[in-house]
Amino acid sequence: MKKALITGITGQDGAYLAQLLLGKGYAVHGLVRRSSTTDMNDVRLRWLGIVDDVQMVDGDLADLSSLMRIVRDLQPDEVYNLAAQSFVKTSWQQPLLTGAITGLGCANVLEAVRIEKPDAHFYQASSSEMYGLIQEPLQSETTPFYPRSPYAAAKLYAHWMTVNYRESFGMHASSGILFNHESPLRGIEFVTRKVTDGVARIKLGVSRELRLGNIDAKRDWGHARDYVKAMWLMLQQERADDYVVATGRTVTVRDMCRIAFEHCGLAMDDHLVVDPALFRPAEVDLLLGNAAKAKARLGWEAETSLEEMIQEMVDADLNRISANR
């Protein structure tokens, strides 16, 4: 039985990846940081019905000795580094923490693997946010990066450390440059989930308006359930490499929002308020990924359309809000 260690297992991607690996017969271990509300942090694993099937281990991305102990004791075949301070807007308010966890945290995991289990296959959760002020209209593995947030700068450091450990130490270390991916398990602060939750509340009469920031921003949105398959595929290859994972379609926040309102039979213009206070200090205006390499080498393609995903998310939020009333 193969053993996998997932950092960030309590997050959106960690939960879907754990589900995928359990289905493939892996023993799945997840790094969990200590919290005073332990009953809250496994909510996504409970939602997927897998909380009793994964083994949790205590540790923190900032604490190298805990990572070394875990990797030494576990001797995992595969290590997926998904943990991060992942909300871009917060990275301007907490730039040093974001650098310490999202950037240096990756170096800590790489060090733990290099010292304790150097033949483990390693995955780094890199991000399309690294393209920032885009240098090419369609972004691929060869497009130059131009980070526009402390989060993106931290991810860029982690990305290059992953490449460096592959080239310096011969580690099987891959970096997945994933474009935005969402699901009913998405954190409420991210725009798709804020929209689907907000629209569901309006539909159920719990609120009347939805306040957003820059609705002209364009993103290439896919489904997290599809994207974790690409992570796994990268670690099954004979040689480690870097891959863009994207749908190849870009849509404005405004049009994504319209899909959610229309699914509920509501007119968006009656409820949507643009609030300049929600704009960011620097914006990533457009992301559009070219996943041709992932398709050719991994046989991976996005399976879920934006419409299908937003409808699934709205329905999940309608159920959640109704159940809590």
Is residue 289 a contact residue for ligand NAP (CB under 6 A)?
no
* Piece of 136-144, 177-185, 284-292, 296-304 that binds ligand NAP (CB under 6 A): 177-185
Tell me the C-alpha distance between 81 and 268, whole Å.
Answer: 38
Annotation says 151 is catalytic: yes
Cα dihedral 308→309→314→319 (10° resolution): 100
Output the six-digit token pair for 20: 């995928």
Give the closest residue to 109 by CA, choosing from 58, 161, 151, 167.
Answer: 161
Strand ranges for 59-205 from DSSP E: 78-81, 121-127, 173-178, 181-182
Binding footprint of ligand GDD, residue count (CB under 6 A): 23
* 31, containing H or E segment: strand 27-32
Amino acid sitting at position 184: P
Q: Which of 64, 200, 217, 259 is in the footprint of ligand GDD by CB under 6 A?
A: 217
Is residue 53 a contact residue for ligand GDD (CB under 6 A)?
no
Tell me the C-alpha distance between 105 and 24, whole Å.
Answer: 28
What count of other Cβ atoms lies within 10 Å of the Cβ of residue 277? 6
Q: Which of residues 69-128 bind ligand GDD (CB under 6 A)?
A: 86, 88, 127-128
Q: Which of 283, 301, 307, 315 is in the footprint of ligand GDD by CB under 6 A?
A: 283
Catalytic residue among 129, 149, 182, 183: 129
Tell me the C-alpha distance between 3 and 7, whole Å.
Answer: 13
Question: Which of ligand NAP, ligand GDD, none interacts with 88 (beta carbon under 5 to 8 A by kind)?
Answer: ligand GDD
Catalytic residue among 80, 131, 151, 165: 151
What is the x/- site pattern for ligand GDD, positions 155-194, by CB under 6 A? Answer: ------------------------xx--------xxx--x
In the complex, minimum distance from the CB of residue 40 to ligand NAP, in angstroms, rounded to a whole number: 8
Active site residues: 127, 129, 151
Q: Where on the chain is the footprint of ligand GDD (CB under 6 A)?
A: 86, 88, 127-129, 179-180, 189-191, 194, 212-215, 217, 219, 253, 278, 280, 283-284, 287
